[in-house]
Structure 1
């Protein structure tokens, strides 16, 4: 739940949706929740069947083959592991600006550094820390929703018909259907992380069915804590056109109460709640890089350190450092905001791979032990896979081109480096529960 970061969804990603889709942001988040629910069934079944720290790529490799498995690793590993924490960390400075003017890049780098330290200290300590901060984060999100509802300016009918306002003229009009669907990719990015229990499955005690339950619980909380505040903001904003076109609409809502001190306190609370997301994201993504090193995905000089575990703290400390350093380099050297738009496209591609895995796993591995089986198979994964493909058709040529280049580079790396070394590299970790024999898994193309 902390990896989803409800505060980031509301305070950093929702403004992007409001700018892109106007009042349609409400429907975009609802549709994103529907797609997320369909995906949750696939992740719940696959994650409890293959409880291995690497998450998606370990599943895709076993079901669709190691070429697509490596592509999944690149999407959920280096691409998201460096970019998402950087995007989240950068959003903090905007809310701190009401107190002190700071360079957003320096603030972002510092916050990621804190996240790395907490991640290395230990998974139990990290869980306690993010648990406390998550409670605070949910309280801030709830408080913002309450502010919207108590300052209500219009009825719920504003949510029914999606409208968008021209930034220059402030004149409203109907939201194009294609734009609404394109926004669902951003919502997919917003909810991304509800499958996070899969990455900690090796460290989870008890019945692996609990991994499935965690996926549904995290998604449910994510949808509720996103949809309700956005609905409250749209109903409570004094100027709806200004609210949907603002880079920081929540500050407009808070400033409507007329107290600078009140606004400052709320903005500080928002900044602290967003920081919790970074604290949760570093250990989340470090498990992906750790698992890739353990499976010898990279040259030995890289894989061996990534696979190392601290002898006392029992955490993948090198992988955590790599996540932190990679994110900090992105923040300090590149325009992360300009790169952030591709995340939704990348997540949609991953949705296609996981949906296909949920279908192939049942067909190919009929005798595997499944502690959780989704209902209405294969209807649900077919729906989610086709929906994700439809979303991809609505993305910009720029984002599709960048994503295509990432996929091509990943495939060439597998073809030219990993495939000739299939006996020693990308050698999947022996599964924990009921997977096909290691020889069969490693013999797949």
Structure 2
């Protein structure tokens, strides 16, 4: 029995498989293969395979961090809840500011990406109108029930996986290169023509960029209030998405390296994946795969909108904004059980950002992943020391080695970004500025108003068995 003062609730009705499907959609293997991997091939040639394998190794550590924090705090809101419950409200609002800006930025970037891939098939497609239409449709779909969205994204995900598998198969069926030789002795295009051994600096840059190809598995924590048995299931959802992402990204890239007729031309090309597909399968096959990629990016937009709506809803539920705005944004649809108003607000912000220059959007989003990894790693270290994560059903082994490795990696990534004066350095400054605005907002507005109140949703079980470990789960 509830009364009028009870906060609106999300419906805990999604299975672990449903959570895995939506989160894998957010990771999006097609984005890894067709958008991130071409950059890696240009940067490092055949080292792209090793770079992705190294990203998987780092991902195993980051996944463990998300699993422990997500199990300790299975609430809507994602990173900002994990950070806030361990590092305090100032850090909570700093993280919130970053997420509330970067989610609609990702929505706008993805929508413009859909337009780019559709233009390969239909040159008359106009980027801005196409992007606006995609965001409107995605936002409406994301306002439906979480179970319905799991089915929708699952269907689109099957199309996406078919596209990446077909790309890899083209290379395997038309082999030209020895895979193991390419991995053991990585080469790339030389400025003098032909091939050269991939330089160490190029390997370092590719290693940092490869992290973006596999990012997204941590998004599972955002659905902590909607997955049945979230405390116990989040660990295998997160690791499952990481390994499925790796299994659908790395083998197709191996196929590309095996089947490329000219590795120097592949590495030197401005569009290496498209050139490879046209050479191996013809223009018609390239058109079909481009359509599949457009569907995949659209599918990823659904996951982004789902996550963004829940982040904004969770913040409004805790009175993060003006009272009248909190009441509107924390509404849950009585039939769908979705935070529909917050989802529409995220979609509206994405629409506006479609008119911002693409270079600015890329600059803002560039350092977000690294900053997010660093904050959650620090959160786990502090949470273990203070006992804040005591209710977690997952205990990351060999603590604190994992979080320390992640923090050191993040510092290296930021140092690498700062060396890039065109996009990297402005991106780092922009992210730091956003985090500072969020922290100041809490100190100057929220704290003085004394309206904000941390909210812990009702849970299925208050008594948690002894923490699980990687060994006990076979991970």
* Aligned partner of residue 297 in structure 1, secondary structure: coil
Structure 1 residue aligned with 2:67? 44
CA deviation after TM superposition for structure 1 residue 171, in Å: 4.9
CA deviation after TM superposition for structure 1 residue 161, in Å: 3.5
Alignment of 1:236-385 (within 5 A): 236-257=259-280, 259-331=282-354, 333-365=355-387, 368-385=390-407
Structure 1 residue aligned with 2:101? 79
Structure 1 residue aligned with 2:426? 398
With over 3 angstroms needed to count, the CA separation of the structure-2 counterparts of 1:108 and 1:18, relative to structure 1, is: farther
Q: Any idea what the Cα deviations from partners look like across 1:152-176, whole Å, max 9, x if unmatched? A: 221122233444435x755544444
Verify the 8 A CA contact 2:170 2:281 in the aligned structure 1: no
Structure 2 residue aligned with 1:165? 189
Structure 2 residue aligned with 1:428? 454
Q: Any idea what the Cα deviations from partners look like across 1:34-85, whole Å, max 9, x if unmatched? A: 211101011111101110011111111111111111122222x223211112
CA distance in 2, matches of 1:367, 1:36: 21
Greater alpha carbon shift after TM alignment, 300-309 vs 314-323: 300-309
Gaps of 5+ in 1: 436-445
Structure 1 residue aligned with 2:7? none
Greater alpha carbon shift after TM alignment, 260-269 vs 170-179: 170-179
Structure 2 residue aligned with 1:104? 127
CA deviation after TM superposition for structure 1 residue 309, in Å: 1.2
CA deviation after TM superposition for structure 1 residue 96, in Å: 2.0
* Aligned partner of residue 224 in structure 2, secondary structure: helix
With over 3 angstroms needed to count, the CA separation of the structure-2 counterparts of 1:368 and 1:237, relative to structure 1, is: same
Verify the 8 A CA contact 1:185 1:344 in the aligned structure 2: no
Which of 405, 409, 416 is matched with 2:444 structurally?
A: 416
CA deviation after TM superposition for structure 1 residue 432, in Å: 4.5
CA deviation after TM superposition for structure 1 residue 265, in Å: 2.1
Verify the 8 A CA contact 1:306 1:318 in the aligned structure 2: yes
Structure 1 residue aligned with 2:233? 210
With over 3 angstroms needed to count, the CA separation of the structure-2 counterparts of 1:180 and 1:412, relative to structure 1, is: farther
Q: Any idea what the Cα deviations from partners look like across 1:227-274, whole Å, max 9, x if unmatched? A: 222222122222323323434322212211363333322222222222
With over 3 angstroms needed to count, the CA separation of the structure-2 counterparts of 1:16 and 1:107, relative to structure 1, is: farther
With over 3 angstroms needed to count, the CA separation of the structure-2 counterparts of 1:265 and 1:407, relative to structure 1, is: same
Structure 2 residue aligned with 1:151? 174
* Aligned partner of residue 217 in structure 2, secondary structure: coil
With over 3 angstroms needed to count, the CA separation of the structure-2 counterparts of 1:334 and 1:153, relative to structure 1, is: same
CA distance in 2, matches of 1:366, 1:71: 19
* Aligned partner of residue 256 in structure 1, secondary structure: helix
Verify the 8 A CA contact 2:49 2:250 in the aligned structure 1: yes
Structure 1 residue aligned with 2:12? none
CA deviation after TM superposition for structure 1 residue 131, in Å: 0.9
CA deviation after TM superposition for structure 1 residue 342, in Å: 4.5
Verify the 8 A CA contact 1:50 1:431 in the aligned structure 2: no
With over 3 angstroms needed to count, the CA separation of the structure-2 counterparts of 1:411 and 1:366, relative to structure 1, is: closer
CA deviation after TM superposition for structure 1 residue 300, in Å: 2.7
CA deviation after TM superposition for structure 1 residue 226, in Å: 1.8
CA distance in 2, matches of 1:268, 1:58: 37
TM-score relative to the length of structure 2? 0.84
With over 3 angstroms needed to count, the CA separation of the structure-2 counterparts of 1:103 and 1:351, relative to structure 1, is: same
* Aligned partner of residue 2 in structure 1, secondary structure: helix
CA distance in 1, matches of 2:320, 2:365: 23
With over 3 angstroms needed to count, the CA separation of the structure-2 counterparts of 1:276 and 1:15, relative to structure 1, is: same
With over 3 angstroms needed to count, the CA separation of the structure-2 counterparts of 1:3 and 1:411, relative to structure 1, is: same
Counting matched residue pairs gives: 430
Gaps of 5+ in 2: 1-23, 463-475
* Aligned partner of residue 212 in structure 2, secondary structure: helix
* Aligned partner of residue 120 in structure 2, secondary structure: coil
* Aligned partner of residue 280 in structure 2, secondary structure: coil
TM-score relative to the length of structure 1? 0.90
